[in-house]
Each structure stands twice: as structure tokens, then as C-alpha cells.
Chain A
């Protein structure tokens, strides 16, 4: 037994996010569990993840499109609106759930050691399961209105998804850590999610920001990775489905500068989140 004694190791000192991918099987089970219990005991089941965005879309379309007459200035305003909403919902789901994941699983974390990054990361995958059907609906709507994207536009859609997923997970991990020590964090999260819908051009056009606000504000506005991701989605989904000249145009330097910047910010947030998480996870058990 003692012929090849391994080194003594400090228990519970993980390698951060990498540990999660070494425990893929556990990750899969946790994701399965989350999906199974999400709509447990409901009659409509998974249908709820279609119904909720559908109602949200309907309300926004009537309020913004018809009452505020945004659909008159914009061809296929419905698709414009929906491509943004889908993305913001994806962000909200990852961010909201992962920032609560540590406090929600406190009972388990206090008793057994397992890579704790597992819980925020599992929420990313759960959100994906709900995101993909919505994306499919968007695709169907796009196809119905004569969608003809090129390869570059495809890449933009993928980039948009990646930016949102990484950014939301990073923010989620930061707030999950924060939440363990100060329960105020949950209220911050709710607030950020409310602001997120309006701080990116989901319901209106970015040109409105450009016209009404000073230049420095425009730069801050585009430093928000969500703005970039939403615009990438508009470019990928909505623009190829239109034929007429649009008041909307591709924001300047969207793909050359803003997308790399957004990716940088998103991954930076994730690294910061992982760093904070690892720095403080030793205290999770006693604080929960």
C-alpha cells in the first residue's frame, strides 16, 4: 500500500473552473436534476419556458411596437425585438440563478466537499437548455420572413451567445461569492437584471442613444458586453430578414473593435469571478 505513496495534498483546494470539467458526470447529473425539478408538478412543464418569453414578447410588442409606433420605422420590428429579448433572458437566467446557487445549496456545501464552481456552471447549462428552444423559434420566425444570412453573420450570432454566456457566468460567480457574505447581493442582482433590458438596445435603436446622448456616453454604452451581443444578434438575425433600407445600420467598428472588447470584458469578468470565488470559497461553509 505504501509503495507509491502520493504527496500529501491540501483537501478542498480546487483548481477553480477546471475542476468542474473533470467532474463532467456530476455536472451532467446536477444539470439533469435542475431541469427535472424546475417545472416539477406543473401541468405545462417545459412549455413554460416558451410561454414566459412569448408573453413578455407580446407585451413589449404591443407597448413598444404599436403604442410607441416603433414598428412603423422598422421593418420586422417583431424579430428585432425578439432577438434582443432572447439574449437578455439568457443572460438573466444564468446570472440570476448562478448568483443564488451557492446560498441555495448551502446545506450540501456545508457537509461535503465538491468543486463548488459546479453550481454556477450547472446553471449555465440549464439556461442553455431553455435558450435553445427560444433560439429555434427565433430562427423559424426569421426563415418565415425571408432570412438570408451570410457566413459572417453566423459567426456574429455565435460570438453574441459566447459573450453573454461568459459574461453572465462571470458576474454570477462574483455575486454568488458576494451573496454568501451579504444577502444584499440578491437585491443587486434583481436591480441589474431590470437595468439590463434597458441598458442595451433591445426595445429601441442604438442610434437613439447616439443622437440624444454625448459621445462619451455612447462609448460607455458600447463597453457593455450585452449591448455588443444584442447588436451582433440584430446583425445576424434581424438584418438578413429585411429588404428595405433601414434607419438602423451596423454600429461603427462593431466587429473590429467592440466585439473583441466585449469578449475581453466577458472573459475578464469570468477570471475575476473565478478568482474571487476561489479566494473566498474556504469561508463558504462557515458563513452559510
Chain B
């Protein structure tokens, strides 16, 4: 039984399709920093005795292969090393021991808005952040309208970002990030963006990426959502991998419950959701039929095949989705 509530392209497991390889990766963090030269000089003068600062092992011998098209969740409680792992993959940090390698273009939806400057207009920030995320000018130009539409910023696009509400700020940042087109997406705790309709749109967009066979590495505490999106889960505890397998098993491990129960609840939840979605569509179609109009449903990655998007009679996509 699969946890993902829709069909996604299969994954080939071979040496050639390894998208991310982590090989015995370890990382230490310094706990106490001595930010003064005096202490450092004293330490050297005393013959480098002892450690200048305490060390803390954030990642301990972490090894995994992620293949093209896999959707993987990194799970664990706070401080277990999930985000550190993601930072290793994106290249923000380097492992102290071991190896991490990536193939193809990797982009992070990591804490969106990090590259936003409050004194620039929304438009300038879209270009700046797009470039930071690895797009070139032509690419941003072609996606600019989609980005603005997706963010629902509208006429405020030429206003300085410092006057935006925090929701608008996050929406624009997320819109830029989601319009980059890498082969591998790294997603860190950003699914809690904006109000509920916007959140739904974001999640739907991410499901669409999964449906199209993109590789995804997700860090989130929303375990139900993880089971919707990811087929595989890696559970970290104090920097060590304690579980690597189907995401339902990972969630079961975290919740300390039998996997069969978690699976059953997940199936019920998905079924209920899909039932209501179909019901809504049926009602909308009946309403349209009563008015004598043709009903074209909004594209939903959980119900429709992305290939249908090319056929305007089957599904449509609005709001830059």
C-alpha cells in the first residue's frame, strides 16, 4: 500500500541515478565561542593545551543515497540534525568527516526570504532572489508574471518590501523560490507560510512537483503532510540515523505507534479528503450544467494527471498555480 495519494513516476535505483550521496558524514559544532583574540593567543601560548571550546557532535556518521525522483523526509525532534543535513546538501556547510555529493542542480526552499532586502521594491527583490537561487535574467523575466500572480501581491509589486505585511513578504518569497526549476528541491519548514488558502496552494504546488517526478528532500514537523508527500523517511536522533525506510514507518517510529495503525489512519485521512474534493467537483459540475456552461475543474495534483494540463478542456490552472 502506498502512502502518497496519487501516482508518481517510479524511481530507478542504480548507481547512475544517485542524486545525493552522503557517506559517513559527521559534523561538530562549537558550543562556547571565544570571540576574542586574547583568549586565542593565550591558548596558543600555553601550548595549545585542551580544547579552546567545547565541541558537540551534530551529525554522527550519516550515510544515505537519494535517487532521482525520490521524495524523502528528514524527520526527528528539535536538534536532531535535520536542518544541518540539509545545509550539508546545499553546500552552506561542509562536513568535518565523510563525504556529501550532489548531481545536477540543487536549490533550496530554505527559510525563504533570507535574501530579501527591505529597502528594495518587490520587483527588485524578485530579481535579486531569483538570481540568488540560481536563475538567470531570461529565466526570471519569463517567470516574473507567474511569480507575481502566485504571490497574489498584485499592484504592491513596486512597493518597497519593508511596507509589506509579514504574510505578503513570505508569499512573495515563497513564490520566487517555488518558481526556480532545479532537479532537486530542498524544503525546510516553510510549508507554514501565509494564510490557509495560500498554504493549500503551496502544498498543492509541492505535490505537483512530486507528481512530476522531482526529487524532494523535506524537513517538516507536519507528519501528516510528510506522509502525503514523501515515500521515504529518514529519522535522525542526536545526529544519528535511527530509521530509514517508508515514511509511514518513520512517522510510526516518531509517534511510537505500530506502523499498521499509522498507515490505516493515513489512508482514512486521504480517502476522506479525496472524497470531499470529488464531491466538491461533482457539485460544481452540476451547478455549471444547470446554467448550461461547460465545467473545467481546477488542476489538482491529487486528482489529475499533470499531462492533462496541456488539454484545456480537461483541467485549468489559475492564479499562477
Contact = CB atoms under 8 A, between A and B. Distances in A.
B1 interface: no
A10 B120 contact: no
Interface string A109-135: 111111000000000000000000000
Nearest to B111: A111
Interface in B268-283: none
Interface string B42-68: 000000000000000000000000001
B307 interface: no
A183 interface: yes
Interface in A24-55: 25-26, 29-30, 32-33, 36-37, 40
B294 interface: no
Contacts of B91: 10-13, 113
Given A2-B16, A112-B132, A182-B36, A36 B93 contact: no
A8 B114 CA distance: 27
Given A29-B131, A33-B117, A182-B40, A112 B90 contact: yes
Contacts, number: 108
B128 A29 contact: yes
A11 B35 contact: no
A258 B50 CA distance: 46
B99 interface: yes
B37 interface: yes
A6 interface: yes
Contact of A7 (B36, B103, B133): B103
Contacts of B89: 11
Contacts of A23: 131
Interface residues of B, number: 46
Nearest to B23: A8
A26 B134 CA distance: 9
A111 B110 contact: yes
Contact of B93 (A8, A181, A286): A286
B308 interface: no
B115 A25 contact: no
A68 interface: no
B92 A2 contact: no
Nearest to A14: B91
A-B complex: 5 closest residue pairs judged by Cβ atoms:
A12-B91, A11-B91, A8-B101, A282-B94, A113-B91
Interface of A: 1-2, 5-13, 23, 25-26, 29-30, 32-33, 36-37, 40, 107-114, 181-184, 282-283, 285-287
Given A1-B69, A11-B89, A112-B114, 20 more contacts: A2-B12, A2-B14, A2-B16, A2-B68, A5-B17, A5-B103, A7-B103, A8-B102, A10-B99, A11-B100, A12-B94, A33-B120, A37-B117, A107-B114, A111-B108, A111-B114, A112-B90, A112-B108, A183-B35, A286-B29
